[in-house]
Amino acid sequence: MKTKQFGLFFVGVLALVLVMSAVSAVTILSDDFNDGNLNGWTVTNSSVTLPGTPWNNTGTFAEAKPGNGTAIPPNGTSTLQRTISTSGFTSITVKYDRQLVGFDAEEEFKASWSLDGVTFTTLEETLNSTPDDAAFVLKTFNLPTSASNNANFRLRFECTSDAQADFCRLDNILLEGTSNLDIPPEVTTCTTTGNPGDLDVRKINFQNNGMQYNTFGKDDEWFPLEEVEVEIEVENNGNDDVDDVSIEWGLWNTKTGDWVIDIDEEDELNIKDGDKETLTVTFTLDNDLDVDLEDLDDGSHYRLYVVATGTVDNQTSPDTCVSDFETASIIIESDFVVLNNVEIPEVVQCGETVQVSADAWNIGDSDQDEVSVEVFGRESVLGLTETLELGDMNAFDRQPLSFTFNVPRNLNVQDTAGKFYALNFQVKDEDGDVYQNDFDDDDSEFVVPFKVEGNCGIGGTGAVTVSASLVSGGAAGEDMVIKATLTNNDVETKTYKVGAAGFTEWADSVSVDQSTVVLTAGQSRDVVFTMKVDEDASGNYTFFIEATSGSEVVRQPVSVNIEPKSRAGAFGNLLSGQNWTLWAIVLLNIILVVVIIIVAVRVARKK
């Protein structure tokens, strides 16, 4: 038993060592000077006025000619230095190509590194030698462990010469290290456990299902908001069953050392010897990740890890664990705005007013100005063209949008099962151009289908809809003003004669501000009716607003309520407070009459 346990422990340690040794070098800094500048580098000279030329970028390499034989003194020194953080990296290696031409024993090229910018350790120094390189020479240096995990690590290159014909050149400066961020701790623990059950993660297959109505990436290259489906297959290649196999998965960022999607158990099952199990998981690169969308960056440094852990069904019942990963890329554009979460009814009727909503997402890492969305019908008979102004959008920001449109009533939907139509959405930038990604030159365009069935037919009735509302009036003997809104739901321009009917019971006459209305497809217009209400009208009545175009007649019923006219007369009006001046005069007359009577009585008694 002890021999078996020691053997398993040895296998686990050996596997861990192999995993650690298999970690490849990661580039910390790379500069080939092809950009034509020395951004990030600092150039200093030994004197304020250098007799020659300091370090500069020629567009192909960096070059220094600090000396000048015609100057007094002729010698000069120019230094090229840069701070590079090695935090998170070990096993630091420095590589560069250098060419030294025309050097004598007093001229010098010196490369060195530092942890604090004060004390420098020499990589190479050519003092008292006379290099004269016909071509670039590659130099490689493996630094001690003290160079690891240091935010203040510095590289410095010094060139000292005394003539313009003597110079130093640098190219392809490369700083590499081993990243401790490549392997998640869960995978390290799995490796330490060992795999006596001989489990094998045979398959990790990606399928990019894209966004709701478009796909921009590839199966292993994903844009934000795209849905990814993963097929995972785990096989038992051992001679024993493996019980309680927990299959976990997660998305790991090797650049930051974080889980983008935290590793979690997807399923637990038993796998007999020689058998395999397959499961499918789905995730979306949206705000439900374990990091913010804005924390994602462009590159192929993402790994989907699968860890399978179980117990071997034999006498010793050891734990067994296996892990594997598949590399994927996340694509972050600079300028790209898309649509997602589009909501529209799956089935609509002719003549229906349809509500549509969606989310516009800036999935690029740059802020955008004056974003707009143009919507139009894929089929021209829909008669829809609309521009929605969204305004400015910050990077990885979401902006909701919504609008309504009327489905033409007389669409030619002959099939009783209906017919599919579609809306086209184009997302545009401040110049009115459709956004296009750099990944595959795809436009930000989305085609949203919907089905039309019911209430349709060419030449049928009801192509115009009428709605009415009270503007003023409502009492007997007064004018009543009603506004009617006519909407042409047809696919072509229509001329309608407009009038009223069924009102003679309660109104003497009606006038209309326009008796003929011409409406283009989808257009609406208001028509005003003025009804002269009878003096004795009272209660609820109904009349009809009629719109006629050829054989098409639409009669829209309208209900009205008439308040009866007051019958209290002048006195009633007086009591109701409608004429306070008259009331005061009457009251004053009454008082005068009473006073006259009183005076008359008193005079009579005195006699």
Long-range contact set of residues 505-508: C-beta below 8 Å, sequence gap at least 24: 505/541, 506/533, 506/534, 506/537, 506/541, 506/560, 506/562, 507/480, 507/531, 507/532, 507/533, 507/534, 507/537, 507/543, 508/532, 508/533, 508/534
b/e burial code for range 419-428 (CB count within 10 A of at least 16 → b): eebbbbbbbb
Whether residues 418 and 325 fall in one domain: no
pLDDT given at position 605 = 62
How many residues are recorded in the chain?
Answer: 607
Q: Hey, what are 201's tokens?
A: 């993660």
Among 452, 486, 510, residue at a domain's last position: 452
Percent of the chain with pLDDT over 90: 63
Are both 224 and 99 inside the same structural domain? no
Does 310 lie in the same domain as 168?
A: no
33 shares its domain with 57: yes
- Mean pLDDT of the region 546-570: 76
Residues 174 and 193 in one domain: no
Reduced to 3 states (helix: H, G, I; strand: E, B; else coil), residue 458 is coil
Torsion sign across C-alpha atoms 415, 417, 418, 419? negative
Which stretch of 39-48, 101-110, 113-122, 237-246 has the lowest confidence by average pLDDT?
39-48
What is the pLDDT, as a whole number, of residue 92?
94
pLDDT (0 to 100) of residue 18:
43
**Does residue 542 lie within any of the structural domains?**
yes
DSSP state of 215: -
Give the amino acid at 157: F
Task: Specify the number of domains making up the chain.
Answer: 5
Residue 12 has pLDDT above 90, yes or no: no
CATH of the domain at 156: 2.60.120.260
pLDDT digits (tens, 9 = 90+) for 495-540: 999 999 889 888 999 999 999 999 988 889 999 999 999 999 988 8
Mean pLDDT over each residue of the chain, to the nearest integer: 87
Q: Is residue 584 domain-shared with residue 601, that is, in the same domain?
A: yes
CATH number at 498 reads 2.60.40.10
Does the residue 4 lie in any domain? no
Task: Examine the pLDDT at 2 and tell me if it is beyond 60.
Answer: no
* Residue 458 pLDDT exceeds 50: no
| Residues 82 and 142 reside in one and the same domain | yes
pLDDT tens readout for residues 30-83 = 999 999 999 989 999 987 789 999 999 999 999 999 999 999 889 999 999 999
- Angle at the Cα of 23 from the Cα atoms of 17 and 28, rounded to 5 degrees: 140
- The dihedral through the CA atoms of 236, 240, 241, 247 has a sign that is negative
Examine the fold and report which residue of 389, 420, 452 is the final residue of a domain before the chain moves on: 452
Q: Looking at 21-35, 215-229, 519-533, which range is the least confident one?
A: 21-35
The DSSP-derived string for 488-501 is E-SSS-EEEEEEEE
Element (H or E) spanning 279, and its range? strand 276-284
Asked whether 260 and 292 are in contact (CB, 8 A), the reply is no
What is the mean predicted confidence (pLDDT) over 10-30?
56
**Looking at the predicted structure, is the pLDDT value of residue 194 above 90?**
no
Torsion of CA 201, 203, 204, 206, to 10 degrees: -170
Residues 51 and 173 in one domain: yes
Angle between helices 2-21 and 185-193 (to 10 degrees): 140
Same domain, residue pair 163 and 189: no
The closest of 334, 263, 326 to 297, measured between CA atoms, is 334
| CA-to-CA separations, 423 to 232, 415, 418, 420, in angstroms, rounded | 37, 21, 17, 11
96: domain range? 25-179
Strands (E), 102-226: 108-114, 120-125, 137-142, 154-161, 167-179, 199-210, 221-222
Last residue of a domain, one of 330, 348, 380: 330
Considering the domain architecture, whether residues 255 and 325 belong to the same structural domain is answered as yes
Q: What value does the mean pLDDT take over residues 332-351?
A: 94
**Residue 2 falls inside a structural domain:** no
Identify the three-state secondary structure at position 13: helix
Q: Tell me what pLDDT residue 489 has.
A: 75
β pairing state of 347-348 and 445-452: parallel
Neighbouring CB atoms inside 10 A of 241's CB total 19
Residues of the chain above pLDDT 70, percent: 88
Q: What is the largest CA-CA distance in the chain?
A: 160
Sheet holding 347-348, edge to edge: 347-348, 445-452, 419-428, 368-377, 385-393
Residue 320 and residue 194 share a domain = yes
457 within a domain of the structure (yes/no): no
Q: What is the pTM of this model?
A: 0.55
Q: What residues are paired with 179 via a beta bridge?
A: 89
- Domain co-membership, 320 together with 354: no
